Amino acid sequence: MSFRKVKRTRGRPRKTSLTLTQENQDNNNSEKSTMDNNELPTNEKIENWDKEIDGSEVNKEITEPPIPINETSKVETSPSGNNSEEQAPTNGFVRVEKESRFKEPTTIHIIDGEKGGCGKSFFCRTFIEYCNSIAYDVAIVDADTSNKDIAKIYSSVEVAFFSDDEKLASEADKIFDLAFEKSVLVNLPAQVYSNVTNWIRRNDLVNLGKDNSIKFIKWFVCTGGVDSVNFFLKSLNDLGDDIIHVFVRNQGLCDDWEYINQMPEFQSAISDYNFIIMDFPKFPFWERNVIDRLEINFSMAIAHPEMKVVPKQRVKNFLKEAYASFAATELIQ
């Protein structure tokens, strides 16, 4: 497994950081304060994935960011010496002070790939297992209404879909609504790129997300074929300046990426956009077939009687390598 984070010099990829800005109003003067990423809840870095996969607890120190308290009224001393609340002209209307509330930042993780059979659903299942292992609370949305691979295996899965019919366009809005409570993981079906992109652009969701501390990350699962890479490049051209992209190299479908790395278009994208390259490890075929047939998750597979000692170890080895790849992106915390 190898991981390479692309860095930017003059427009080259750079490390993504998250900055939150909160406005507090006092006597019509605005103060802006920037809260460093380190003040946000973070998960402790896990060095030994063997213990984690076997069920050992991981202690996580969480620092809660301070919640600012706004003054809703000002007290002043009247000429008579009595304290009284300042009264502003209302013109017959009741003045209601807007309450300032702090919303913890959340992320909408979109699992894309556009092509069928590129491994989106299997990648999503591994993503879910990793989130569970680090106690990262995430809402799961299965947008693949034809297969529902995720909904078959995991409980409490929401269903949404993307449509080019304007009357059904709001069916995808559930995803953004869920992000007000927690981060969201969306498993996309094949061939919905245009509908998803139009949903983001038409509703100006990037800017709306910034206003509500919600960001987007697209995890693009690539087969290693030129047509698959071209879909990724198209997504970069359309949304690469607005949302973070992760180029997921599916090692189970391609183990030699040198040709892709040397593509002039891919090299240009490295210079022009901020994206991360992640290697997704190969999963053994026999164990994959057993898990798919039984419709169980990886944790259940490790405890299933049909899986003997050596196959269970292969599942553990896959999870250890996959978890390390997810952790190296530093995007799930």
How far does Cα 217 stand from its chain's mean position?
Answer: 5
Of 226, 152, 162, nearest in space to 191 by CA: 162
Domains and CATH numbers, the chain: 105-329 (3.40.50.300)
Amino acid letter, residue 236: L
pLDDT above 80 for 70: no
The whole-number pLDDT of residue 36 equals 47
CA atoms within 13 A on the CB side of 108: 28
Tell me what the mean pLDDT of segment 35-40 comes to: 44
pLDDT at 47: 64
Could you give the CA distance from residue 238 to residue 242 in angstroms, rounded to a whole number?
9
Residue 16 has pLDDT above 70, yes or no: no
Residue 321 clears pLDDT 90, i.e. is over it: yes
List the one residue out of 24, 123, 30, 106 whose CA is nearest residue 67: 24
What would the pLDDT profile of 241-268 be if each residue is shown by its tens digit? Answer: 999 999 999 999 999 999 999 999 999 9
Bridge partners of 217, per DSSP, are 109, 244
**Six token digits for residue 330:** 């530093």
What are 156-190's pLDDT values in tens digits? Answer: 999 999 988 877 878 899 999 999 999 999 999 99
* Predicted local confidence at residue 306, as pLDDT: 93
pLDDT, mean over the chain: 80
* 12 Cβ contact partners less than 8 Å away, ≥ 6 residues apart: 6, 270, 271
Kindly compute the dihedral angle of the four CA atoms of residues 109, 216, 278, 268, in this order, to the nearest 10 degrees: 150
Q: How confident is the model at residue 333 (pLDDT cuts 50, 70, 90)?
A: confident
Summarize the confidence of residues 203-211 as an average pLDDT.
96
Contact 16, 274 (CB under 8 A): yes
**pLDDT given at position 23:** 44
DSSP string, 149-200: HHHHHSSSEEE----S-GGGGGGGHHHHHHTTTSEEEEE--SS-HHHHHHHH
The predicted structure's pLDDT at residue 251 = 97
Q: Six-digit token pair at 104?
A: 């913890």
| For residues 47-56, average pLDDT | 63
Pick the range with the lowest mean pLDDT from 47-61, 77-91, 96-110, 174-188.
77-91
Say yes or no to pLDDT of 42 above 70: no
Alpha carbon distance 330, 333 (integer Å): 7
The per-residue pLDDT for 31 is: 44
Contacts of 253 (CB under 8 A, 6+ apart): 118, 119, 223, 224
CA atoms within 13 A on the CB side of 114: 19
The pLDDT value given to residue 145 = 80
Place of tokens 């300046």: 241
Say how far apart CA 223 and CA 252 lie, in whole Å: 9
pLDDT average, residue stretch 71-94:
45
How many other CB atoms sit within 10 Å of the CB of residue 174? Answer: 17
Contact criterion met (CB below 8 Å) for 20 and 213:
yes
Q: Is the pLDDT reported for residue 90 higher than 70?
A: no
Q: Which of the two residues, 85 and 303, has the higher pLDDT score? A: 303
Q: Which two tokens stand for residue 56?
A: 């050992």
**Whole-number percent of the chain with pLDDT over 90:** 62
Task: Give the confidence band of 93 by pLDDT, cuts at 50, 70, 90.
Answer: very low
Q: What is the pLDDT of residue 164?
A: 80
Tokens of 311: 């196959």
Closest C-alpha to 108, from 278, 270, 239: 239
Integer Cα distance of 31 and 26 in angstroms: 8
- Report d(CA 207, CA 201) in Å as an integer: 10
Give me the pLDDT at residue 44, please.
Answer: 52
Q: For tokens 């607890």, what's the residue? A: 57
With a CB cutoff of 8 Å and minimum separation 6, the contacts of 262 are: none
Please tell me the predicted confidence (pLDDT) of residue 11: 42
pLDDT at 38: 45
pTM for this model (two decimals): 0.72
Mean pLDDT of the 185-199 span: 94
What mean pLDDT comes out for the span 29-41? 44
Note the pLDDT tens digit of each residue in 118-153: 999 999 999 999 999 999 999 999 998 888 889 889
Across the strands, what pairs with 76? Answer: 84
Q: Is the pLDDT of residue 325 over 80?
A: yes
